[in-house]
């Protein structure tokens, strides 16, 4: 980090720390200043930062930090498809999947999307016989995005039943295939590298399941979603059913690419295109809005303020909408795999806290489980609420009113607190939250929301000097698992040896 950035952090740390109550009392226009309604491709999203400790002075300091860390320039490079993933010497071209980036990359992505759309149409038209189910096999970035989007948007889809299987635990595959008829199932094998052991093992077992279920040519029912088409061909998948995507699209940023195939199957090509259009609208906002009114950037300021200055070690995300219940899982990979790093882009020590731990759940369930700690525990946890103005279920609208009321009440309670003579019953208050209110849970708003999180993660990384696009930290465990599986090494530590023996491996 530059000396200049260090000095800015120092001055942020020394700034006065007014309470939320004082911030509201001192600025009658606080809500209009910090609550932004952003119009995006036919939908609006409201981002309310008023219940965080951000104020004009803090924002100005973070703008200085942004200048010192070249945030705007790095953003422009990201969105132009420059090679900003320096440790792997490549670009990070997930925006190109939505239509923003280097011209040839955008064209290439479009061509691949058309190819995928054609395959979806062919399946719809019965070219593969009667297909009713899609078994999507992938893990990490090749599973979490499709799982979230399908769970959110395809609850009463009359197109295909989709199951996403990630875990190498056979229970996961067993649970998924139990509901499916092998003769009517298409198996999508999703792996950017096509080398991930869990995915390949599940794929082999799925082929056995197809064969055991009377499918004469199981390979004829496989589709591959990958950036390594040659490996998928070696695996035995016909080239016409391999949907490639670019090597420059990172795994946890890949739901927009052919990894989104099950989303297109469940939602239809049009729905998947709308999902990408929502993201493109957020890309445009990120590209053009001034930093102080740029939602991903402001959110990163909030994240950094709490993690760096108030030393919060976690941040909690609560979806007040059953349709978004998988959002915290998705964000855990996006944020922690991107920014859970102790070194900067140039390899020097980070010298400060990396990304906080992302956790969360679904409201109102979580209120009856973990909110005690948020209200009275000794850890300060910045909370994020995500809700939708409209619901889609068939029951009385009282349900949705109660859901939203609870969501807003929690934010108010965290901030207000409550004094009491009895210490057990007193609430300190001044606990921050931000709220994101969607108009609806639909493809555009979800696309825009996920792109918002991607850019927020990027802005956090740039302001810390981290490369958010590699993940070397996941390799060591894989290597050790392999050597254990192959029994090549007798020199594990005594605790590990005792566990191997106890399990009879
Ligand atoms: O898509 P794949 O190549 O199979 O990789 C699946 C996942 O595994 C890796 O271990 C990484 O941690 C993830 O970022 C990646 O999404």
Tens-place pLDDT, residues 240-252: 999 999 999 999 9
3-class SS of residue 501: helix
- Report whether pLDDT(1) > 80: no
pLDDT value, residue 115? 98
User: Rounded to an integer, what distance in angstroms lies between the CA atom of residue 429 and that of residue 144?
Assistant: 35
Q: H helices then E strands: how many in the chain? A: 21, 11
Query: Buried b vs exposed e over 328-345: b needs ≥16 C-beta within 10 Å?
Result: bbbbbbbbbbbbbbebbb
Q: Is the ipTM of this complex over 0.90?
A: yes
Residue 334 pLDDT greater than 70, yes or no: yes
CA 429 vs. chain centroid, Å, equals: 30
Residue 301 vs residues 248, 298, 396: alpha-carbon distances, Å: 27, 5, 39
For the chain, what is the radius of gyration of the CA atoms? 24
Could you tell me if the CB of 196 is within 6 A of ligand 1?
yes
In the reported structure, the alpha carbon of residue 190 is separated from the centroid of ligand 1 by a whole-number distance in angstroms of 10
What's the confidence (pLDDT) of residue 342? 96
Class of domain 3-69+289-470: alpha beta
- pLDDT at residue 478, as a whole number: 86
Is 368 annotated in the active site? yes
> How many angstroms does the Cα of residue 398 sit away from the middle of ligand 1?
42
CB of 95 closer than 6 angstroms to any ligand 1 atom: no
Distance, in Å, from the CA atom of 103 to the CA atom of 105, rounded to the nearest integer, reads 5
Least confident span in 39-48, 52-61, 442-451: 39-48
Share the mean pLDDT of the chain. 96
**Distance of alpha carbon 40 from alpha carbon 57, whole angstroms:** 28
Query: Does the beta carbon of 141 lie inside 6 Å of ligand 1?
Result: yes
Q: Residue 471 CA: which ligand 1 atom is closest?
A: 12
Q: Is the pTM of this model over 0.95?
A: yes
**Nearest-CA residue for atom 13 of ligand 1:** 140
Domain boundaries, the chain: 3-69+289-470, 96-270
pLDDT for res 490: 65
Q: Residue 316: which of 327, 305, 300, 301 has the closest Cα?
A: 327
Query: Is 140 touching ligand 1 by the criterion CB < 6 Å?
Result: yes
Q: Using CA atoms, how far apart are residues 455 and 218, in angstroms rounded to an integer?
A: 40
Residues in the chain: 505
Q: Please check whether residue 327 is in contact with residue 358, taking contact to mean a CB–CB distance below 8 angstroms.
A: no
Q: What is the DSSP letter of 378?
A: S
Q: Phi then psi for 303, rounded to 5 degrees?
A: -55, -45
The CA–CA distances, whole Å, from 196 to 2, 201, 242, 254, 473 equal 38, 9, 17, 16, 15
Output the CA torsion sign for 247, 249, 252, 255. Answer: negative
Q: Which of 294, 271, 272 is nearest to 282 (CA)?
A: 294
Ligand 1 pocket, 191 CB below 6 A? Answer: yes
Tokens 């991930």, residue located: 196
3-69+289-470 and 96-270: identical CATH topology: yes
Ligand 1 centroid, distance to 332 Cα (angstroms): 14
pLDDT above 70 for 54: yes
Structure tokens, 214: 């009377």
If one compares 40 and 454, the residue with the highest pLDDT of the two is: 454
Q: What separation in Å is there between the alpha carbon of 404 and the centre of ligand 1? A: 36
Instruction: Count Cβ neighbours within 10 Å for each residue of 440-477 and write b for 16 or more, e otherwise.
Output: bbbbbbbbbbbbbbbbbbbbbbbbbbbbbbbbeeeeee
Tokens of 107: 């064209």
3-state secondary structure of 7: helix
User: What residues are paired with 134 via a beta bridge?
Assistant: 162, 186
CA 320 – CA 362 distance, rounded (Å):
6
Taking the C-alpha atoms of residue 79 and residue 464, their distance in angstroms, rounded to an integer, is 19
337 catalytic? Reply is: yes
CA of 474 to the centre of ligand 1 (A): 9
The pLDDT score that the predictor gives to residue 480 is 85
The answer to whether the Cα torsion of 98, 99, 102, 104 is positive or negative is: positive
Residue 197 Cβ contacting ligand 1 at under 6 Å:
no
Going by C-beta distance under 8 Å and a sequence separation of 6 or more, which residues neighbour residue 43?
A: 278, 438, 439, 440, 442, 444, 445, 448
DSSP string, 69-112: TTHHHHHHHHHHT---BGGGTB---HHHHHT-S-HHHHHHHHHH
DSSP reduced 3-state for 290: coil
Tell me the pLDDT tens digit for each residue of 244-287.
Answer: 999 999 999 999 999 999 999 999 999 999 999 999 999 999 99
Which class would CATH give 96-270? alpha beta
Residue 303: enclosing H or E segment and its boundaries?
helix 295-304
User: What percent of the chain is modeled with pLDDT above 70?
Assistant: 99
Mutation choice for ligand 1 from 85, 192, 244, 341, CB with most ligand atoms inside 8 A? 192
Structure confidence at residue 488 (pLDDT):
54
Q: For 12-34, what is the mean pLDDT?
A: 97
The catalytic position among 130, 171, 368, 394 is 368
């Amino acid at each position: 980090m530059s000396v200049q950035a260090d000095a800015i952090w120092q001055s942020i740390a020394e700034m006065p720390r007014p309470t939320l109550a004082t911030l509201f009392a001192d600025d009658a226009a606080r809500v209009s200043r910090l609550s932004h309604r952003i119009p995006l491709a036919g939908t609006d999203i409201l981002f309310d930062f008023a219940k965080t400790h951000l104020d004009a002075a803090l924002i100005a300091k973070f703008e200085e930090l942004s200048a010192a860390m070249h945030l705007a320039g790095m953003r422009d490079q990201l969105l132009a498809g420059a090679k900003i993933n320096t440790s792997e010497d490549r670009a990070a071209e997930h925006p190109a999947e939505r239509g923003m980036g280097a011209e040839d990359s955008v064209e290439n992505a479009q061509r691949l999307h058309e190819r995928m759309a054609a395959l979806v149409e062919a399946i719809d038209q019965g070219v593969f016989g009667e297909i009713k189910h899609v078994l999507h096999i992938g893990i990490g970035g090749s599973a979490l995005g499709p799982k979230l989007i399908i769970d959110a948007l395809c609850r009463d889809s009359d197109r295909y039943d989709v199951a996403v299987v990630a875990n190498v635990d056979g229970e996961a595959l067993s649970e998924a295939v139990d509901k499916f008829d092998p003769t009517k199932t298409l198996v999508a094998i999703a792996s950017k590298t096509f080398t991930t052991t869990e995915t390949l093992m599940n794929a082999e077992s799925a082929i056995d399941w197809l064969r055991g279920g009377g499918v004469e040519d199981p390979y004829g029912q496989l589709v591959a979603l990958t950036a390594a088409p040659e490996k998928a061909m070696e695996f035995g998948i016909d080239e016409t059913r391999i949907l490639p995507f670019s090597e420059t699209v990172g795994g946890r940023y890949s739901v927009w690419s052919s990894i989104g195939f099950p989303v297109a199957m469940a939602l239809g090509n049009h729905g998947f295109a709308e999902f990408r259009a929502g993201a493109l609208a957020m890309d445009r906002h990120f590209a053009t809005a001034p930093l102080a009114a740029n939602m991903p950037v402001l959110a990163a300021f909030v994240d950094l303020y709490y993690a760096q200055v108030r030393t919060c070690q976690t941040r909690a995300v609560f979806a007040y909408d059953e349709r978004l219940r998988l959002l915290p899982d998705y964000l855990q990979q996006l944020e922690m795999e991107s920014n859970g790093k102790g070194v900067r882009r140039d390899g020097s020590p980070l010298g400060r806290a990396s990304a906080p731990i992302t956790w969360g759940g679904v409201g109102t369930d979580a209120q009856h489980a973990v909110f005690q700690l948020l209200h009275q525990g000794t850890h300060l946890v910045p909370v994020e609420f995500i809700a939708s103005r409209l619901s889609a279920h068939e029951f009385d609208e009282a349900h949705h009113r109660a859901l939203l009321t609870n969501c807003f009440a929690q934010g108010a309670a965290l901030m207000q607190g409550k004094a009491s003579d009895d210490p057990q019953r007193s609430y300190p208050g001044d606990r921050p939250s931000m709220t994101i209110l969607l108009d609806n849970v639909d493809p555009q708003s979800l696309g825009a929301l996920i792109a918002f999180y991607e850019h927020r993660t990027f802005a956090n990384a740039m302001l810390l000097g981290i490369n958010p696009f590699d993940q070397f930290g996941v390799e060591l465990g894989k290597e050790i698992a392999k050597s254990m599986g192959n029994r090549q090494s007798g020199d594990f530590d005594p605790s590990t040896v005792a566990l191997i023996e106890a399990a009879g491996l």
